[in-house]
Chain A
Amino acid sequence: RRARVRGCGAAMAALLEHESQIFLELFHRDGLAVCARGLGIDRLLLRFLRLYCEPASLVLVLNTSPAEEEYFIDQLRSDGVVHLPRRVTNEIANNTRYEFYTQGGVIFATSRILVVDFLTDRIPANLITGILVYKAHRIIESCQEAFILRLYRQKNKQGFIKAFTDNAVAFNTGFCQVERVMKNLFVGKLYLWPRFHIAVHSFLEKHKPEVVEIHVAMTPAMLAIQTSILDILNACLRELKRYNPVLEVEDLSLENAIGKPFDKTIRHYLDPLWHQLGAKTKSLVQDLKILRTLLLYLTQYDCVTFLNLLESLKASEKAFGENSGWLFLDSSTSMFVNARARVYRIADEKLNQKGKVSEKRDVKKENELKRELILESNPKWEALREVLKEIENENKNSDNLGGPGQVLICASDDRACAQLREYIIAGAEAFLTRLYNKTFGKDEKAGEVWIKDRKAVKSKGNAKPDIGPQAKKAKLTASLKQNKHKKQQDRTIIQMIGKTEEEKREEVEVEDNKELSSSQDSTEETIPEGFDVNLPSDCYYGIFKDPLTIIHPLQGCGDPYALTRVLHEVEPRYVVLYDAELTFVRQLEIYKASRPGKPLRQFCDLFFFSTCRVYFIIYGGSTEEQRYLTALRKEKEAFEKLIREKASMVVPEEREGRDETNLDLLRDARPASASVDTRKAGGQEQKSVQQTIIVDMREFRSELPSLIHRRGIDIEPVTLEVGDYILTPDICVERKSISDLIGSLNNGRLYAQCISMCRYYKRPVLLIEFDPNKPFSLIPRGSLHQEISSNDVTSKLTLLTLHFPKLRILWCPSPHATAELFEELKQNHPQPDAETAMSVTADSEILPESDKYNPGPQDFLLKMPGVNAKNCRAVMNHVKSIAELVTLSKDELSQILGNATNATQLFDFIHLTYGEALAKGKSKK
């Protein structure tokens, strides 16, 4: 083993100093590593993966998403690893899976499959080298992964368990969260690597990228709007607290309200008692959400989008007559005024224009009246343009550095990116006008035409400075523009986008700058006429210019590693952060630090790296800045708390479960931490018979099987045709969550399930399981109608019990309670047999006492038209078999059924031939 460590020590050179330190620590002793966001937890995992990518070891990776798996596999492939990790999916047949596992290597597996494989011994548990757990903060007691780890530890005492997470904040909720998670992970060591860890800090300090922070002042109007929104937010929060004094106050501060996870926090507090809240509180929560969106829009997007949102809010208010208090506050009025002022001059000026009262105004105003639209451009855009100019200037002198450096612009989401791109290409005014026309254009079209002309001329003038960085292309584009401007303004812009889109595609193929000019001509001709503005949202936005510029969204793309990938592909020299995000800043640091270590240096000189410059555009003193700082502080606090907890943590020696003393592994009836049942603490004698419950394969998505197993009951996973859980030979349980229940009551599935359960088991049970996080109640308070309606859940449930008097219903508030109940129900009963349970299908023997009639033909009869539950018995009493039934005449039928129409229906149904039916069907159509 030692040799291998040394062997990979060489390969580890690519790891950063602190990373290799974490790696070694974690390698020698199992543990839970908590890193700061963006500090390369994925790189760490990747390192471990590479280490174990060999047939001699068998390593399972839990809790990864398909996109992440894809990323890791890709990375390893590019590293030239021979035995790539494989994925276990349901495509691999049950019987071949054992072989699959024994082939070794790293395996990504879905938890559901793993659980079943562990339970059925389909996986060679004793051969597993170890398990790596990603996103370990999600391992709570009842989840599948914890179940897997428990099963693994029971069967394998030697293998390792190493867990990774970069979400320190998640440990901050609840009491002793870290310790609980560690207990579930069966690890005894906690490794904390915050950003302020001495090793990390000093290391990154050495490789600090050059950071230029640009604090942009907001325009007065924006500032005013922001203050009013904050005012309103504050008022709403106060109201909320007034109505719900029970709420924990400290978390509902204004500062938190700005931060991102606020919605979640508030739901977290309110969910359990949601049904008890008054309408007022609910609407307040709704308002808070809207206000937060407004705040985001204010800094993120342009003035037009913001106003549009605001106006639509007001309009919907009027339309629905909803009464959210905040719209009537003083602050909101000022917000509206300011928002409008950002887009156009005060409203009565417009009136002036229409009402021809403009003579009263002085001449200067007259001048401005012509412009009507102000269209305040986003200050950040200005800053961005300046930055781009600066970069361009530098690029001009950079020929000796091996060509111009690439630029990466990062904004928060797709919309912002699209806007930015349009801005860079078209310039602020043209863009805003277009937006404005789109949103408000309809009612002002008349006065708009000449303005448009003016704008066209203006933006032509603007075109050059705006498109500044496009050094070579500028002239080309300008001339192109002039042609197009004679047509409609809108279209020009759309086509230009079309063009850049085209170019982007080429960019992928042709990395070389020189080919630009040659490809230029071809693109001009191939402009599709109506190129859609809506671009594929998942891809990054590239603008191919002299220096390659790429705008990339920070969030909202499907691939969590897209950014990292882009970083490594593009190798930008300049990074402009249009919106601040914690993770990405860290990622940049790591990226920066990892560069010098790579052999890239051979063809790029050192200077290249030292100029990797980060521009940080942020509104000074705005909520945006506040949000960023709050996120930083939160993480820091979380780490500090973790450190304190670590210091005071008592880790029992047997925690890792390598010997027999770990209590968690002893699956006795006493619950480990949750749901304490004191009545049983008196130490029951373990029965000599091992309790067993047969569980349907499909049930492994829920957490119940894990909890049952925990209580010392063996689980046999099989595919059941009838029921979900077989507790005893008599008791068969169908589990339904609330949404399931409603759904299957409506589509008839539950009815069919009940029929078969009643037919084959003495005690069929319907288990209604509630979500422990939601209120324990079937229907929300106050939604009870005056009349009995056949659509209510209660009515249907009643009907169900009426028709299945044998069916028992269990109401369980949580899976924990269910597991407990199951155990008690099983006491003093014989164990079920998997073989018989599996063979329970419609063919098997039915309970003797159930019916004197054969259920098969009975079903058959009931499905025929004209036969219903009432006359079915009459038919069965008179007719021996279906074969006899079809020989009866219409008269005989009506005698049996006691109804002529029914008889005709039935008779026709039996005797109508296929050909006739087809003909009928066709004539109908």
Chain B
Amino acid sequence: VSPQRGNPVLKFIRNVPWEFGDVVPDYVLGQSSCALFLSLRYHHLNPEYIHERLRGLGRSYGLQVLLLQVDVKDPHQSLKDLAKVCLLTDCTLLVAWSPEEAGRYLETFKSYEQKPPDLLKERVEQDFLSRMTDCLTSVKSVNKTDSLSLLSTFGSLAAVVAASREDLSLCPGVGPQKV
């Protein structure tokens, strides 16, 4: 992780290690993700700055975050403009209200880099039936009752998958559908 100047955000990156380095974006968070930091106050003074930075950045990273710190009183207009800019340059806009918050975002990006998205997903019961139901219903046009009847007619998932189209349509409530 490598920014170029001493800045207030660094003070708050405490939970992950960081180092200086010579890179184009402000922060390189992982192999394919990077972040630019912008304070709105600075943006008001130098509106061209961020465009130049974005241009310099190009599209070299998979995830480009524009971390915006809101530190002016009336941010709405510039926030809107920046949102538009971000949409055009394929940046993800994140808004923080204090250097602490900004630091926290950066930390989290680093430490969650390898984390699977399970935290965001719906929790599924760990027992067999509900997992099976969940699995089968992910196929479009299969609902919970269908999944149960499928399972009870064919016995196991292996059998369900191996079943032919005719077998499936014989199943009550399923009709001419496909897996």
Which residues does A use to contact B, with CB under 8 Å?
A: 731, 745, 747-752, 763, 765, 776-779, 781, 784, 786-788, 790, 792, 794-803, 805-814, 817, 820-821, 824-825, 841-843, 856, 859-860, 863-865, 868-870, 882-883, 885-887, 909-915, 917, 920-921, 924
Task: Choose from A745, A813, A883 the contact partner of B120 (Cβ within 8 Å).
Answer: A745
Q: Residues of B contacting A810 with CB < 8 Å?
A: 83, 93
22 contacts between A and B (CB under 8 A): A784-B98, A784-B100, A787-B15, A788-B104, A788-B112, A796-B119, A798-B109, A802-B115, A805-B32, A805-B33, A808-B86, A808-B91, A811-B95, A813-B75, A860-B135, A863-B135, A882-B161, A883-B162, A886-B161, A909-B132, A912-B156, A912-B157
Q: Residues of B contacting A801 with CB < 8 Å?
A: 63, 65, 92, 94
Assembled-state Cα–Cα distance A784/B108 (Å): 13
CB distance from A808 to the nearest CB of B (A): 5
Assembled-state Cα–Cα distance A802/B129 (Å): 31
Assembled-state Cα–Cα distance A821/B77 (Å): 10
Q: Residues of B contacting A779 with CB < 8 Å?
A: 97, 101
Q: Is the CB of B120 within 8 A of A803?
A: yes
Given A794-B108, A805-B63, A825-B84, 9 new contacts (CB under 8 A): A798-B94, A798-B105, A800-B120, A817-B76, A824-B80, A859-B138, A865-B131, A882-B161, A909-B132
Q: Is the CB of B155 within 8 A of A914?
A: yes
Q: Is the CB of A749 within 8 A of B122?
A: yes
Assembled-state Cα–Cα distance A751/B117 (Å): 9
Q: Residues of B contacting A820 with CB < 8 Å?
A: 80
Q: Is the CB of A911 within 8 A of B157?
A: yes
Q: Residues of A contacting B94 with CB < 8 Å?
A: 797-798, 801, 809
Assembled-state Cα–Cα distance A807/B87 (Å): 9
CB distance from A564 to the nearest CB of B (A): 47
Task: Choose from A786, A799, A821 the contact partner of B80 (Cβ within 8 Å).
Answer: A821
B107 within 8 A of A: yes
Q: Is the CB of B92 within 8 A of A869?
A: no
Q: Residues of A contacting B156 with CB < 8 Å?
A: 910-914
Interface string of B30-62 (1 = CB under 8 A from A): 001100000000000000000000000000001
Q: Is the CB of B128 within 8 A of A920?
A: yes
Q: Which of B66-117 contact A (CB under 8 A)?
A: 70, 75-76, 79-80, 83-84, 86-87, 90-95, 97-98, 100-101, 104-105, 107-109, 111-113, 115-117
B139 within 8 A of A: yes
Q: Residues of B contacting A911 with CB < 8 Å?
A: 156-158
Q: A779-B101, A784-B101, A914-B156 are in contact. Are A863 and B108 (CB under 8 A)?
A: no
Q: Is the CB of A802 within 8 A of B131?
A: no
Q: Residues of A contacting B83 with CB < 8 Å?
A: 810-811, 821
Task: Choose from A794, A886, A914 the contact partner of B105 (Cβ within 8 Å).
Answer: A794
Q: Residues of A contacting B127 with CB < 8 Å?
A: 921, 924
Q: Residues of B contacting A882 with CB < 8 Å?
A: 161, 179
Q: Which of B134-168 contact A (CB under 8 A)?
A: 134-135, 138-140, 151-152, 154-159, 161-162
Q: Residues of B contacting A843 with CB < 8 Å?
A: 140
Q: Is the CB of A752 within 8 A of B93?
A: no
B121 within 8 A of A: yes
Assembled-state Cα–Cα distance A914/B140 (Å): 22
Assembled-state Cα–Cα distance A781/B120 (Å): 25
Interface string of B18-38 (1 = CB under 8 A from A): 000000000000001100000
Assembled-state Cα–Cα distance A885/B162 (Å): 10
Q: Is the CB of A802 within 8 A of B93?
A: no
Closest to A867 in B: B135
B5 within 8 A of A: no
Assembled-state Cα–Cα distance A824/B151 (Å): 52
Q: Is the CB of A825 within 8 A of B87?
A: yes
B11 within 8 A of A: no
Q: Is the CB of A778 within 8 A of B84?
A: no
Select the residue from B115, B128, B131, B155 with max chain A CB neighbours within 10 A. B128
Q: Residues of A contacting B179 with CB < 8 Å?
A: 882
Which residues does B use to contact A, with CB under 8 Å?
A: 14-15, 32-33, 62-63, 65, 70, 75-76, 79-80, 83-84, 86-87, 90-95, 97-98, 100-101, 104-105, 107-109, 111-113, 115-117, 119-124, 127-129, 131-132, 134-135, 138-140, 151-152, 154-159, 161-162, 179
CB distance from A856 to the nearest CB of B (A): 7
Q: Is the CB of B117 within 8 A of A869?
A: yes
Please report the number of residue pairs spanning A and B whose Cβ atoms sit closer than 8 angstroms.
177
Task: Choose from B63, B98, B154, B162 the contact partner of A802 (Cβ within 8 Å).
Answer: B63
Closest to A817 in B: B76
Q: Residues of A contacting B117 with CB < 8 Å?
A: 751, 799-800, 803, 869
Q: Residues of B contacting A917 with CB < 8 Å?
A: 128-129, 132
Assembled-state Cα–Cα distance A800/B92 (Å): 11
Q: Residues of B contacting A825 with CB < 8 Å?
A: 84, 87
Q: Is the CB of A795 within 8 A of B108?
A: yes
Q: Is the CB of A909 within 8 A of B80?
A: no
Q: Residues of A contacting B139 with CB < 8 Å?
A: 856, 860
Q: A763-B87, A915-B155 are in contact. Are A863 and B134 (CB under 8 A)?
A: yes
Assembled-state Cα–Cα distance A798/B101 (Å): 12
Assembled-state Cα–Cα distance A914/B129 (Å): 9
Q: A751-B121, A787-B15, A860-B135 are in contact. Are A799 and B105 (CB under 8 A)?
A: no
Closest to A869 in B: B116
9 closest A-B pairs by beta carbon, nearest first, are A748-B122, A805-B63, A751-B120, A863-B135, A886-B158, A798-B108, A913-B155, A859-B138, A842-B140
Q: A863-B138, A909-B132 are in contact. Are A788 and B113 (CB under 8 A)?
A: no
Q: A788-B104, A811-B95, A913-B156 are in contact. Are A817 and B80 (CB under 8 A)?
A: yes
CB distance from A502 to the nearest CB of B (A): 50
Closest to B16 in A: A788
Closest to B121 in A: A748
Closest to B81 in A: A824
Assembled-state Cα–Cα distance A460/B105 (Å): 74
Q: Is the CB of B76 within 8 A of A813?
A: yes
CB distance from B59 to the nearest CB of A (A): 11
Assembled-state Cα–Cα distance A784/B105 (Å): 11
Q: Is the CB of A824 within 8 A of B84?
A: yes
Q: Residues of A contacting B32 with CB < 8 Å?
A: 805
CB distance from A915 to the nearest CB of B (A): 7
Assembled-state Cα–Cα distance A118/B47 (Å): 44
Assembled-state Cα–Cα distance A841/B123 (Å): 23
Q: Is the CB of B120 within 8 A of A863?
A: no
Q: Is the CB of B120 within 8 A of A910?
A: no
Q: Is the CB of B112 within 8 A of A799?
A: yes
Closest to A675 in B: B76
Closest to A860 in B: B138
CB distance from A647 to the nearest CB of B (A): 36
CB distance from B140 to the nearest CB of A (A): 4
Task: Choose from B95, B107, B131 the contact partner of A788 (Cβ within 8 Å).
Answer: B107
Q: A779-B101, A824-B84 are in contact. Are A921 and B155 (CB under 8 A)?
A: no
Closest to B63 in A: A805
Assembled-state Cα–Cα distance A821/B122 (Å): 32
Assembled-state Cα–Cα distance A521/B132 (Å): 66
Q: Residues of B contacting A814 with CB < 8 Å?
A: 76
Q: Residues of A contacting B158 with CB < 8 Å?
A: 886-887, 910-911
Task: Choose from A798, A805, A811, A910 the contact partner of B79 (Cβ within 8 Å).
Answer: A811
Assembled-state Cα–Cα distance A924/B108 (Å): 40
Q: A747-B122, A751-B120, A797-B94 are in contact. Are A813 and B109 (CB under 8 A)?
A: no
Assembled-state Cα–Cα distance A808/B123 (Å): 25
Q: A781-B98, A886-B161 are in contact. Are A799 and B120 (CB under 8 A)?
A: yes
Closest to B117 in A: A803
CB distance from B31 to the nearest CB of A (A): 12
Q: Is the CB of B112 within 8 A of A798?
A: yes
Q: Residues of A contacting B75 with CB < 8 Å?
A: 776, 813
Select the residue from A745, A809, A821, A825 with max chain B CB neighbours within 10 A. A809
Q: Is the CB of A750 within 8 A of B120?
A: yes
Q: A809-B92, A811-B83 are in contact. Are A912 and B119 (CB under 8 A)?
A: no
Assembled-state Cα–Cα distance A765/B87 (Å): 9
Q: Residues of B contacting A864 with CB < 8 Å?
A: 131, 135
